[in-house]
Amino acid sequence: MDVLNDKRAKTELKRPFPELWRVQIERAISKHGWTVIPDRERFVVDVCKDLDAELGDGNTQERAAANAVERAAIRRYCHVLYDACASKERQAQERGLREVWLYLYRAGLFKTHDPERAKDAAQQALVNAWKHLQQCRDKGSFISWCNLILLNVVREQFRRDMRRSRRGKTEKWVREEIPLAEVGNPGEELELVDSEEKNALSEDMSFDLAAQGELHARLLVAIRACLASEDQRTVVIESFFNDRGFKELAQALDTTPGNVQVMKSRALKKLRRCPDFVRLYVEMLDVSGEPNS
């Protein structure tokens, strides 16, 4: 089998993938110190094939940006890492999990700023990831999926910290995280199910366009009347009416996604207190009573 794989790899290496790609892929492997690649030549070929499929047009091959090559290498490495962690061979499993550990520990330090907490969180996340490997829907995002598990573990730790130390001083970064941790357990629940939510997206398309246009026009007038800040208006309008993401808005406003979230949060607070906006929703929702002052 090794001989056959070798022959296939050597045959495929003769395909005209740009030499630059191979150099960039090898550079990525060295840069990241990846150790769980069973067949390096095969890995390079697979990444080249992924890039080829993504770029499509042979003329654009040479112009693939360096970061696109690295991103493709990371995605392919995630597949390799996943396969190692899911392997029935104990040795391969251990190699894979030790590599995942490095990413989890780093993520734990990023969130907790404390080596002991980071170690505890990473350990728990490692066990959870191994136990629920089959739930990873996209192997190419395996490391991100593991990081997400770690973020959830840390959030649970924060909740426990809050319950234990209600009266004592807590660190600033924990206090910032805790309200959000609590928000993670929603009280009010909308009675939505999968198919209903999917249908709802297409319902928006079939909603009477004239009525929709008029409703949105009134909302836009209220938003502009209530928000003096141009940036806040942009964030609200582009987020909700044009489905722009945080990253896109951050680039457009020359700021960070974190700042966009802060702007949005402040804008929403202002709208909640603005009589014009409240009056509009009271009318739309057919709610009785006077607007709050």
Partner 1 sequence: MYQENQIREALCSRPAGLTLTALALGCAVWQVEPDRQSHYKCLDMLPSFIEAEADGKLHTVEFMYTQRHLHICASCAKMYSDLVRLTAGMAEPLSVSRIPPPELSFLDGPRD
Per CB under 8 A, which of residues 18..77 are in contact with partner 1? 31-33, 67, 70-71, 74-75
Nearest residue (CB) to partner 1, 17 versus 140: 140
**Could you tell me how many residues of this chain bind partner 1 (CB under 8 A)?**
96
CA–CA separation, 44 vs 41, rounded Å?
Answer: 5
Nearest residue (CB) to partner 1, 20 versus 215: 215
Does 252 help bind partner 1 (rule: CB under 8 A)? no
Interface stretch with partner 1, choices 12-20, 38-46, 158-166, 274-282 (CB under 8 A): 274-282
Q: Contact with partner 1 (CB under 8 A): which of 35, 38, 110, 230?
A: 110
Does 286 help bind partner 1 (rule: CB under 8 A)? yes
Within 13 Å and on the Cβ side, how many CA atoms surround 44?
23
Nearest residue (CB) to partner 1, 43 versus 105: 105
* Residues in 218-247 that interact with partner 1 by CB under 8 A: 219, 236, 239-241, 243, 245-247
Nearest residue (CB) to partner 1, 46 versus 177: 177
DSSP 62: G
Q: Contact with partner 1 (CB under 8 A): which of 204, 210, 228, 254?
A: 204
CA–CA separation, 274 vs 227, rounded Å?
Answer: 9
109-110-112 Cα angle (round to 5): 60
Token code pair at residue 236: 């609200």
Does 90 help bind partner 1 (rule: CB under 8 A)? yes
Does 106 help bind partner 1 (rule: CB under 8 A)? yes
Nearest residue (CB) to partner 1, 3 versus 183: 183
99-101-106 Cα angle (round to 5): 110
Q: Going along 156-229, which residue ranges are E strands?
A: none
Q: Contact with partner 1 (CB under 8 A): which of 36, 215, 252, 253?
A: 215
Q: Contact with partner 1 (CB under 8 A): which of 69, 101, 153, 227?
A: 101
Asked if 108 contacts 117 with a C-beta cutoff of 8 angstroms, the reply is yes
Q: Contact with partner 1 (CB under 8 A): which of 45, 111, 158, 227?
A: 111
Does 175 help bind partner 1 (rule: CB under 8 A)? no
Nearest residue (CB) to partner 1, 48 versus 226: 226
Does 207 help bind partner 1 (rule: CB under 8 A)? yes
Q: Contact with partner 1 (CB under 8 A): which of 23, 127, 217, 225?
A: 127
Q: How far is the CB of 25 from partner 1 (least distance, A)?
A: 14
CA–CA separation, 206 vs 92, rounded Å?
Answer: 53
Asked if 291 contacts 283 with a C-beta cutoff of 8 angstroms, the reply is no
Contacts of 100 by beta carbon, 8 Å cutoff, 6+ apart: 81, 85, 126, 129, 143, 146
Token code pair at residue 62: 């040479």
Contacts of 250 by beta carbon, 8 Å cutoff, 6+ apart: 256, 257, 259, 260
Asked if 264 contacts 235 with a C-beta cutoff of 8 angstroms, the reply is yes
Does 216 help bind partner 1 (rule: CB under 8 A)? yes
Interface stretch with partner 1, choices 1-9, 14-22, 39-47, 214-222 (CB under 8 A): 214-222
Q: Which residue has the tokens 């928006």?
A: 204
